Amino acid sequence: MSYEFIAITMFAGMMVLLLTGQRVFAVIGFVGVVAAFLLWGEGGSEMGFSSAMKLVKWYPMLTVPMFVFMGYMLSESGIAEDMYKAIHVWMGPINGGLALGTVGLMVIISAMNGLSVAGMAIGATIALPELLRRGYDKVMMTGVVQGGSTLGILLPPSVVLVLYGMIARVPVGQLWLAGLLPGLMMAALMAIYVYVRCRVNPALGPALPLSERNVPFREKVRLLSAGIVPLGIFVLMMWLFLSGIASLVESSAVGAISSALVAWWRGRLSARLWNDVLQKTLGITCMFMWILIASLCFGAVFDGLGAVKSIERFFLGDLGLEPWQVLVLMQLSFLVMGMFLDDTAMLVIVAPLYIPLVQKLGFDLVWYGVLYTITCQIAYITPPFGYNLFMMRAMAPPEIGMRDIYKSIWPFVGIMAASLIIIGVFPEIATWLPNNYYSK
């Protein structure tokens, strides 16, 4: 049996097992360990153990629990509710003001957490019911929450970009800086879309009555501080890391400690809160670690088979495709996989194949990390099986149906697709900031 056929069999077997509903890490690890044992005997069966040892020696892996802890501590301690109250009193006089504020809320939550799940949960449970109660169009606002929540995996401190950096061996600081301008550009495009629609049709997002906006100025300032606190923590972390004063792990620890101190200062740090945050942090971190261990084992077997060279020869030699055509096919495959898998699973399944291939094709791995992340964002919210669509259905108020969810998302899919094309054609949008910063 040729090595190419073995690689195809491994990949096909993994996809079949995933369709059975088994956990992603179990499927990837099982296929990798069994293939290694059948190919190389007892020595190959130790590849799973060596992958675990490699992971626990990755010092940057400590950033994952730190960032997850920071995000959950800030969100669970009620800061998100205060931020939404601030949006209520400051943006209420504008048509569509609460919708615009919700986009800003999604950006701040992204800077707090680095995951899309937190933004989705806060947007669906806190912002969406209030918007519906005040007469905002349910279809448009459902799309705002879904589209805005995906920014969490692109804006720093994105946990997905941390994992991409570990697998691709690319500095995380460069990835964070590369994701900053594209993330803010997408947020701005979403805000422009909401503003224009509400300007043309004010009934989609009516301004709040004066009675609801009549809040003392001192109270307005106090509520505004709720948004300044997480942004302050974010700026502190980035400054410590990018200035070289602290390493990535040390700056993430500063963020985690700062979030706990903020919760204590606001009188919301209780034993129950502490226990809930630690449990959620442990669950998310263990999930990432298991998936990474499995992917390292699977990738080691693929490297040993020479699968990357075979794929490169197939696309460039046998099919005669140009590098850009290969890149487009890779992104389309992410869109298909995103209907069934989350971003981490997609990354670890195809990373052993795609990342070396991208490097062989002559593309910048930092730039490609941004393209990959935006493609994941699109896949998350693309019908019929987008990952975030069903999360929204589970969290949204009962009057939001699947038809509303499907109908709401297309303008934001268009914004993300346009952003992907713009950054693909003009890579400097992603590479200018890290190149200029690190060159100095």
**Dihedral class, residue 353 (left if φ above 0, else alpha if ψ from -120 to 50, else beta):** alpha
Say what the alpha-carbon torsion angle 287, 288, 294, 297 is, to the nearest 10 degrees: -160
Residue 212 binned pLDDT confidence (cut-offs 50, 70, 90): low
Residue 365 binned pLDDT confidence (cut-offs 50, 70, 90): very high
Is residue 18 predicted with pLDDT exceeding 80? no
Q: For 84-129, what is each residue's pLDDT tens digit?
A: 777 777 777 788 888 888 888 777 776 666 666 667 777 777 778 8
Angle at which helices 271-305 and 63-76 cross, to 10°: 150
How far, in whole angstroms, is CA 364 from its chain's centroid?
Answer: 20
Q: What angle do CA 304, 287, 389 make, to 5 degrees?
A: 105
Percent of the chain past pLDDT 70, that is, above it, reads 89
Q: What share of the chain is helix, strand, coil (3-state, %, to 5)?
A: 80, 0, 20
- Mean pLDDT over each residue of the chain, to the nearest integer: 81
How far, in whole angstroms, is CA 334 from its chain's centroid?
Answer: 14
Q: Are 419 and 182 within 8 A, CB to CB?
A: yes
Residue 385 binned pLDDT confidence (cut-offs 50, 70, 90): low
Q: pTM of the predicted model, to two decimals? A: 0.80
Is residue 249 predicted with pLDDT exceeding 80? yes
Residue 341 binned pLDDT confidence (cut-offs 50, 70, 90): low
- List all residues 6 or more positions away from 342 whose beta carbon is below 8 Å from its beta carbon: 387
